[in-house]
Amino acid sequence: MLTVLVTGATNGIGLQTAKVLARMGHSVIIHGRSQSKGNAALEAIRAFAPDNPQVRFVRADFASLTEVRRLAAEVGSLVPRLDVLVNNAGCANLTRTVSADGYEATFAINHLAPFLLTNLLLEKIRGTTPARIVNVASRAHRNQQIDFDDLMSTRSYRVMRVYGRTKLANILFTRALARRLAGTNVTANSLHPGLIATGIGQRSALGRLLWKLIVWIRGGISVEEGAATSIYLATSPEMSDASGGYYVRCEPAPLQTRPEAVSEEVAERLWKVSEELVGLPCTSS
């Protein structure tokens, strides 16, 4: 039995991922920012996996790094081991908003929060080996590059460009993390789940409606199909030694952006900038 933390698991593919993992018999911790939605998600999971009592909810708003730190401490004290971390939570705000720490919110929630959470939980994860870290990215990364001169999108804000850059950041983070974890029996991989009408963390009714319209026009997939790759990377024996990859439909996939946008140099620069932004001690690869 694995102990798994799935962030952003009160709806969409995060909830579906947690439901399937629970039915497989694993101990599952689900995360969300709403207690009421967390309670509803627990009921849904328990109905889907009635024979598994090992399902718990932890609350934190990823728009606050203070809450991310509290969440890491809570998870650390809640379980003696952590076999799998699925960084699934994310958003795509229609207009530029600012997090509790003064950072552009989409970048803060999609990249800085999982970056900090993963680093804070690394000691526990490393003590559990073999272990896995799964980062939900997106093909929205295609044709994007990190703008280090305007990480907070103060000069210009276009929702899908900003969202795509945060998904590129997820991929770069995964690759840099995999290099740091080489030889530890802990793997890190990223994935594109597919186009799904989940609202991707939209905090407004209008945003959720517009996203569902986009998905309908482009032909989206079900949450069951969308969660499949996260579950595969988290549990498949075939993935026991694979690390640093990007997957689509449970298969390795090429990155859809310029080579220089995903270079080791860019990944390391983003890592160091991220350490500074979240207040972690600077490390080397």
**Catalytic residue numbers, as ranges:** 163
∠ CA 213-61-243 to the nearest 5 degrees?
A: 80
| Cβ burial, residue 183 (10 Å; 0-12/13-18/19+) | exposed
At position 210, the amino acid (one-letter code) is: L
Residue showing tokens 């310029």: 258
Whether the CB-CB separation of 196 and 211 falls below 8 Å is answered with: no
Rounded Cα–Cα distance for residues 29 and 199 (Å): 22
203 neighbors 98 (Cβ within 8 angstroms): no
Residue 145: CB atoms within 10 A of its CB come to 15
246 DSSP β-pair partners: 190
Question: Rounded to whole angstroms, how far apart are CA atoms 164 and 158?
Answer: 10
Q: In DSSP terms, which residues pair with 15 in a beta bridge? A: none
How far is CA 137 from each of CA 14, 75, 173, rounded to the nearest angstrom?
Answer: 13, 23, 10
Written as six digits, the tokens of 107 are 């970048």
Could you tell me which residues are beta bridge partners of residue 29? 5, 56
